[in-house]
Structure 1
C-alpha cells in the first residue's frame, strides 16, 4: 500500500510540473536548464516550421520557447488553451502577435541584449565584404581567373560612417567604426548631444546623415515610423559610390529602390542580412552588382545563440515555478504582493508615457515623473519603468520595462523621479514631463476608485478624458465655431465621435481638444482637421497595445 501511495503521489506531482514546448532550435544546455529547474520539456526543434502541427501540439503546454522560425499568431494563441508564457531567445518579437498574447493573458518575454556584439560584428564584417568586394573576388579567384584589376576596393579609414539607431547595437558599431579611424555620425531621436559626445559620435538629423555618409548602417527596429526609412528619395540623395548595410530588420529599406541604385552605379554596393520577406528564396535585390547577402545571420554565432538560449530558459523557468517576471514586453515586473495596488498605476504611467511619446518628434533629453499623494509611497521602480517604456515604445517597439531604463541611460536621457505629499484635489496624481531639444511637454493623470486611469491635465490645461483605443489630439485657439467645424469635418469623413473633451488656459486663448473616435483616423482625416480655421495641430493617438 505504501508503494502504491508513493507512486500515486509521484504521478500527481509529475502532472503538476509545468511543461514547455521548444519549437525552434535551442541548445542542449538550455533544455537541461528547464529539466534541472523542474520543468518538463517537449523538444521539437523543427515544429515551428509546420503551422498545422504547431496548432495541434500547443494545446496543453504552459510555455513556448521559440526563436524566429515559429510564428505565434492569434490562431496559435487561440489553440493554446493552457499557455502562460512565450519566451523568445533573441530580441526581435515581430513573429509574435503581442496584442493577441496580451488579450489571451500570455506573457511574452525576450532576451534584449544577448545578440548585441554578434550583430554589431556582422555589420562591420559586411562593411568590409562590400568595400573590398570579397565574395565576388573569392568566387573569381577560386574559378582560376585571377582578375586582380577587376576588384578595386575602397578604404574605410577616413570615411564617414552614418548610423541610424545608436542604441545598444548601434553604439557598439560606432565604437568599432571609431576604432577603424572612421568619422561616425548618428541619427537617433533618443540620443542626446551629451551621450553622443560621450561615445564619440556626431549627432545629426536624418537628411544630413544621408547626405554625408559614405557607409550607412541600420540598427533600429521596424515600426510604422521606420518602415522604408531608406527610401528611394533618400537613397538617391546619398553620395555617388556610397554603401548601404542592413543587418537590422527587413522593411527598413526600399528594396526596389536599392536595386535601382546599384544597377545604375549610384551606390557602390550594399550588404543585406535581412529582407522584407523571409526566408528570401526570391528577392528583387538578388543578382545586383556588388551585393553581399547573408540569410539573417546577425545573431548567428555560437556565443550569442548559447547566451540567449540559456537566458530564455532561466527566465521562463523562474516565471513558471516562482512567478518572477523578467524581460516581459507586455507585463511589468511586479511581485504578487504588490500587484493589486500597483497594477492600475503601472497602466497609468505607461499610458502617460505613451501619450507623450506619440506627440514627441524631436530628440528627448530627459523625462521628469512626479508622484503625488498615496502613489508616492509605492515602489516607484515599476512605475517609472512603465512610464519610460510607454514614452519610447512609439519608436522602439521591442522596448520593455526591464530594458527601457537601460536604453534611456545608454542614450543619455536623464530620468528624474519626484515624490511629494498630496497638494491638490486628487488623492493620487502622476505628472510626466518630457524635456526635448525644443520644448517641455507635460501630461498628468490619476486612477479613480473604479481602477481606470484618466487624463486630467495636458500642458498645464485641465481636462478629464479616458485613454481610449483611438483618439485625436488637437491644439487650437479657443474661438467660437471650432467645435462645429471639427464636428462637421469628422462627420463628413464618416468618423464617429465617441467622446469629446475640451480644455483651455483662458477664454480665447490656447486650448486642447481630445476626441475619442471609433476607429483609427486616416492621414487624410488628420490633414483635413489641420486645415480647419483655429486648429494648430492634429495628431492620432493609439492605446490599443
Structure 2
C-alpha cells in the first residue's frame, strides 16, 4: 500500500506534485491546520504530515496519530511541533534548514542598510511631502566592523555578503574553528571582544537556554557607543527592554528587528523609537524561499517513506539515500542482534556496548546504534522504533557506548552487541553476507553460522550425545518443520548451543516437552522481524 501524506498548510502545488510523482497518496488540505478538532479526527489515517507554521503538532494531536511516521516542516523553526512527544511516538521530525538561508541572510543585510541609512523614516517623511534631507544623516557600511553572532549556515552567508561590501567581519561561534574562520575571511573572537569592536551586530543563532538574552542588559552595556543591532534570527536573543533603554540613552544608535520575543508582535519596547526598523518576521518571505522549502520537505519526506533515507531530522541521525541502500542489511542485523538479547534478558539493563569491526565501522554508526537499541527494547515495548527507543533508553539511565575497530577476524565486517545487567553480561555478534542476509556468527563466545528467520528456537546444553536427535524428534512430533539447524560448542563436553530456524512458532507443549527431557539448561523461543 502506498504511503499517505497530509499537507495541512499552504505548500506550493509543485511540492504537492512531487509526492504524487513519487507514488505517494497525498491529500492537500491547506486550511486544515487551523482546525484542531478536524485535524485530530483525520490524522490517524496518515503516514506523513507536511506543514508550515499554522499547524500545531501538539502532544494532544500526536496521541491520535497512530500511523504517523514523519512530520516535515517547510522551514527552519519547529516551535509548532512537540518534538519530545513526537520522539516518544517514534515520529521523525524534519525541517528544511537550507531552503531559506540566502533569503534570510539577504534580509539581514537589507535591515542593516535600512538602519544605517534610516531608509524607512526617510521614506515616510518624503512621502508625507517633507524634504528633510539634513535630518537623515546615515553612516557607511564600508570599512565598518560587523560582529556576527553565530557563523553557521545563515551567518556564514551574511559574512560573505558583508565582506563583499568591504566590511571587516568578526565572528563569535563556539563551533567555528580557526581554520574555517580563515577560509571564510573572518576573525574568530570571543563574545566580549565582538561586543567591544563591532559597529554593527547581527545575530544568527537558534534560541536555546544558552542563547536566550545573549544580548542582555549587561552585554549591551559592553558594546561600542553608536552600535547598531540587527536580529533576523529568533525573538528572545536580545533583551528588547534593555535595548530600548540603550537606544533612548544614546548608547545604541539604531536597531533592525524581524523577530520578537512575543509573536505576533503587536507591542514591543522597540516600537516607535527613532532609528529602529521593524518587520513582521519576513526573513524567509520570498517567492524563491517558499518554493524551495516546500519542494525540499516534499523530497525529504518522500525519500524517507519510500527508501528510509533521513535528511535534516531533529530527533534521528540523518541517513542519505545512498547510505540507506548500503546500510539496509546492516540496520536489519543491528535490529536482530538487539532483538535476540532483548528476548533473552529479563532483568533491567544497565549498559549497552556496540562494537563495529571492519567495513561496517566506516558506516553511519549513530543510525546503527538506534537500530540496535530499538531491537533490544521492542520485545518489552513493541511500539518503540529507531526514533523513540533511544529516548526511552536515556530516560531509564541506560549507558550506551560504541567501539570502532579495524578488521580483526575472518569476516570483512561484523557487529557485536554486549548488554550488561546487574546479574550478567550477554553478547551476540553478526555479519551480513553478499546476499544481504544477516547472520548470527557468535553467541556467548561460541562461533556459529545461523541465518535469521521469523521464528527461531534457542537452546543451551552440555555437549553430550543425543541433543540433535531429541530436538529433531520433538519438533517432528509437534508438527513443527525445521528450515535450518545451527549448532555450536565451546569445546568437547563443554557448553553448547543450538539455534533452530522454524517454519512456524514452536507451540507451548513442544517447548515443555524439550524442558522435560532434562537435557537443556535453556529453551527459549525467539521471534524476529525478518521479512
Partner of 1:171: 156
Secondary structure of the residue aligned to 1:337 is helix
- What is the rounded CA distance, in whole Å, between the counterparts of 1:117 and 1:150 in structure 2? 33
1:70 and 2:52 aligned: no
1:143-182 aligned at under 5 Å gives the runs 143-182=128-167
CA displacement 1:377-405 (0-9 Å, x = unmatched): 41533127899xxxxxxxxxxxxx9xxxx
Task: Count how many residue pairs are aligned between Structure 1 and Structure 2.
Answer: 367
Task: Tell me how far 1:218 sits from its aligned partner.
Answer: 0.6
Residue pair 2:51, 2:71 contacting (<8 A) in 1 also: yes
Instruction: Summarize the Cα distance change of 1:344–1:330 in structure 2 as closer, same or farther, 3 Å threshold.
Output: farther
Partner of 2:6: 21
Equivalent of 2:189, from 196, 204, 209?
204
1:264-303 aligned at under 5 Å gives the runs 264-303=249-288
- What is the rounded CA distance, in whole Å, between the counterparts of 2:358 and 2:59 in structure 1? 38
Partner of 2:216: 231
CA displacement 1:525-544 (0-9 Å, x = unmatched): xxxxxxxxxxxxxxxxxxxx
Secondary structure of the residue aligned to 2:253 is strand
Task: Tell me how far 1:285 sits from its aligned partner.
Answer: 2.3
Structure number with bigger Rg: 2
Partner of 1:192: 177
Residue pair 2:355, 2:404 contacting (<8 A) in 1 also: no
1:116-155 aligned at under 5 Å gives the runs 116-155=101-140
- What is the rounded CA distance, in whole Å, between the counterparts of 1:451 and 1:87 in structure 2? 38
Instruction: Summarize the Cα distance change of 1:111–1:345 in structure 2 as closer, same or farther, 3 Å threshold.
Output: farther
1:316 and 2:313 aligned: no
Residue pair 1:372, 1:419 contacting (<8 A) in 2 also: no
- What is the rounded CA distance, in whole Å, between the counterparts of 1:135 and 1:386 in structure 2? 54
Equivalent of 2:331, from 333, 339, 347?
339
Residue pair 2:357, 2:408 contacting (<8 A) in 1 also: no
TM-score by length of 2: 0.64
Task: Tell me how far 1:372 sits from its aligned partner.
Answer: 9.7
Instruction: Summarize the Cα distance change of 1:142–1:252 in structure 2 as closer, same or farther, 3 Å threshold.
Output: same
Task: Tell me how far 1:34 sits from its aligned partner.
Answer: 1.2
1:443-522 aligned at under 5 Å gives the runs 448-449=418-419
Task: Tell me how far 1:451 sits from its aligned partner.
Answer: 11
Secondary structure of the residue aligned to 2:72 is strand
- What is the rounded CA distance, in whole Å, between the counterparts of 2:355 and 2:404 in structure 1? 11
Instruction: Summarize the Cα distance change of 1:372–1:282 in structure 2 as closer, same or farther, 3 Å threshold.
Output: closer
Instruction: Summarize the Cα distance change of 1:209–1:81 in structure 2 as closer, same or farther, 3 Å threshold.
Output: same
Partner of 1:420: 406
Gaps of 5+ in 2: 339-352, 370-386, 388-402, 426-531
Instruction: Summarize the Cα distance change of 1:161–1:142 in structure 2 as closer, same or farther, 3 Å threshold.
Output: same
CA displacement 1:165-206 (0-9 Å, x = unmatched): 111111111111111111100001111111111111011001
Task: Tell me how far 1:265 sits from its aligned partner.
Answer: 2.1
Secondary structure of the residue aligned to 1:138 is helix
Instruction: Summarize the Cα distance change of 1:262–1:342 in structure 2 as closer, same or farther, 3 Å threshold.
Output: farther
Residue pair 1:428, 1:447 contacting (<8 A) in 2 also: no
TM-score by length of 1: 0.62
Residue pair 1:243, 1:270 contacting (<8 A) in 2 also: yes
- What is the rounded CA distance, in whole Å, between the counterparts of 1:422 and 1:223 in structure 2? 43
CA displacement 1:306-326 (0-9 Å, x = unmatched): 111111111212222333322
Secondary structure of the residue aligned to 1:449 is strand
Instruction: Summarize the Cα distance change of 1:342–1:199 in structure 2 as closer, same or farther, 3 Å threshold.
Output: farther
CA displacement 1:190-240 (0-9 Å, x = unmatched): 111111111110110011111111100011111111111111111121112
1:380 and 2:366 aligned: no
CA RMSD of aligned residues (A): 3.0
Task: Tell me how far 1:292 sits from its aligned partner.
Answer: 0.9
Task: Tell me how far 1:109 sits from its aligned partner.
Answer: 1.4
Instruction: Summarize the Cα distance change of 1:316–1:385 in structure 2 as closer, same or farther, 3 Å threshold.
Output: closer
Secondary structure of the residue aligned to 1:325 is coil
Instruction: Summarize the Cα distance change of 1:149–1:110 in structure 2 as closer, same or farther, 3 Å threshold.
Output: same
Instruction: Summarize the Cα distance change of 1:58–1:288 in structure 2 as closer, same or farther, 3 Å threshold.
Output: farther
CA displacement 1:276-317 (0-9 Å, x = unmatched): 122222323222222111111111111111111111111212
Instruction: Summarize the Cα distance change of 1:286–1:51 in structure 2 as closer, same or farther, 3 Å threshold.
Output: farther
Residue pair 1:86, 1:109 contacting (<8 A) in 2 also: yes
- What is the rounded CA distance, in whole Å, between the counterparts of 2:292 and 2:244 in structure 1? 36
- What is the rounded CA distance, in whole Å, between the counterparts of 1:37 and 1:264 in structure 2? 59
Equivalent of 1:46, from 13, 31, 46?
31
Partner of 1:104: 89
- What is the rounded CA distance, in whole Å, between the counterparts of 1:149 and 1:343 in structure 2? 72
Residue pair 2:126, 2:132 contacting (<8 A) in 1 also: yes
Residue pair 2:354, 2:417 contacting (<8 A) in 1 also: no
- What is the rounded CA distance, in whole Å, between the counterparts of 2:153 and 2:14 in structure 1? 26
Residue pair 2:358, 2:408 contacting (<8 A) in 1 also: no
Instruction: Summarize the Cα distance change of 1:21–1:384 in structure 2 as closer, same or farther, 3 Å threshold.
Output: closer
Gaps of 5+ in 1: 1-15, 347-370, 388-400, 402-416, 430-445, 455-545
- What is the rounded CA distance, in whole Å, between the counterparts of 1:258 and 1:125 in structure 2? 20
